[in-house]
Structure 1
């Protein structure tokens, strides 16, 4: 490899490596909106989501899904629908505004899943996590 090829590769890959992933963004959001324990639950859920992918890989299901275009498309569609649902529900909640009382805290629309559930589903429905 020549130096200009290495330099081009580094220039192309640097922004991708600096962008936070789904798990990092979710844990950060949980800590900011809640507490460190909420962030820990989201991190544990993300780890369990990766454990689901590892279990699927151990029994060969991941290889089957990755080799089947239809199954991979189904996983991608489920993940996309989940992301669209999160976006629309966040947008609708933001339009309603914050609660005026000090006792009630504004909650994100998917907060009923809790940090663990959000972390779990964000990794289970992420086809990138399955390919790593």
Structure 2
């Protein structure tokens, strides 16, 4: 994701690089981004971000946590603190929810592409009408 800043545009990737650089200066060690583990689905977490830097995303509330939170204890803490009423749900429930969200996203993307094609066709028709009026 991108955000604006006074120093220019900062991408998610550059923020991760900067964070690693600060970490190295403070500790002398470069920290690697934590990796997503499929067992996190048991707690209702999938991931957001690119392959190199994934951040945990809770399926129900859509909260995206920092990459450093991608450890079982921190995910459990978020789950128990904010969503304890979901504790009875099985991993199959969260997998079904994840597939449903992916399907909705794919449908939305497909409709947007169709909309772009319709917009292009409207533009071409407007050009033809404008040429005929000359």
TM-score by shorter chain over 0.5:
no
- TM-score, normalising length: structure 2: 0.32
The higher relative CO (CA closer than 8 Å, separation ≥ 6) is in 1
> Higher Cα Rg: structure 1 or 2?
2
Of Structure 1 and Structure 2, the greater strand share is in 2
- TM-score, normalising length: structure 1: 0.33
